[in-house]
Structure 1
Amino acid sequence: MRWYAYVAYFFGGVFLVNAIPHSVSGVLGRAFPSPFSSPPGQGESTALVNVLWGTFNLVVGYLLVSRVGTFDLRRTREVLVVGAGGLLMAVMLAQLFGPLYGGA
């Protein structure tokens, strides 16, 4: 496996995890910060914007994981790289949005 496939898998995990809060907030009809809000990442975007942004993140994550290299769920190293990207993004999102929404 070429090194760039692992980089793609890592960022695929980042995009897949980032899709979750935007998609869920949008489907629930709730405003949530997005890169398009003012100020970016702090102001809130509409539910529709979040559904679209979540879908974009899902598509990019899918493309990075499934179309770069030969990703296989039975290859532990590849799954761990995707998981590491997802975990890093989840921790960053928790630190960013925790204070805004009453989390630790």
Structure 2
Amino acid sequence: MFLWGQPTDMRKSFDGLYTLARSGFAVDPLQGHLFVFANRRGTQIKVLYFDRSGWCVWSKRLEAGRFIRDWRHVTQREIDPTALKMLLEGIEPTRRYKRYCLLPAEADMARC
């Protein structure tokens, strides 16, 4: 599964999305990979894939909210099924950092 890192014209269908997938990723689109595209406002997503008998395009448009809130943080990359599910549910995956605690001897001076 691959996420296209730029806003896409949602008037594109099979051939237009295939051209983007073929030119933008280092994989063969005919191998069954899923390619995810979103519009500029982040309210619509199209998924393109090949299922051995032909091309399929799946589309979802939100009535309220956005799939992608800020395009500055979106990069063209491979995503896992969990990230795709989170994207389709409107959950933005952000990097969380581990909270560090002090050792017990240092914890007296600064509460952890």
Fold equivalence (TM over 0.5)? no
Higher RCO by CA contacts (8 Å cutoff, separation 6 or greater): 1
Smaller-chain TM-score bracket: under 0.3
Q: In terms of Rg, which structure is larger? A: 2
Structure in which a larger fraction of residues adopt helix = 1
Higher strand share: 2
Structure 2-normalised TM-score? 0.21
TM-score (norm 1): 0.22
